[in-house]
Amino acid sequence: MAVIKKRFQKKKVCRFCVDKIDIDYKDAKLLRQFITERGKIMPRRLTGTCAKHQRNLAAAVKTARIIALVPFTLNK
């Protein structure tokens, strides 16, 4: 029987809570950090954002997509 060692990862902290950053749909540079190369919004478990800021982030990304600051998908 093989012994499997579990590796513990450092708990991710919310960047917006720690640095007191406001989420704004006009800040495309910040929003692109939370979007995959396919144009999808990254989940909380990967980014480490709290639930409150993840909801605000998703709304900001969707608004930025509508007014064409952030693309829905990348060009093929």
Fold of 15-66: 30s Ribosomal Protein S18 (4.10.640)
CA 10 – CA 38 distance, rounded (Å):
27
Q: What long-range pairs does 8-12 form, CB within 8 A, spacing at least 24?
A: 12/47, 12/48
Report whether pLDDT(59) > 90. Answer: yes
Q: Where are the domains of the chain?
A: 15-66
pLDDT of residue 76: 56
pLDDT of residue 7: 77
Q: What is the mean pLDDT of the chain?
A: 90
- Backbone angle region of 62, left / alpha / beta, with phi > 0 → left and psi within -120 to 50 → alpha: alpha
Condensed to tens digits (0 to 9), the pLDDT of residues 10-30 reads 778 899 999 999 999 999 999
Kindly state the average pLDDT of the residues 66-72: 92
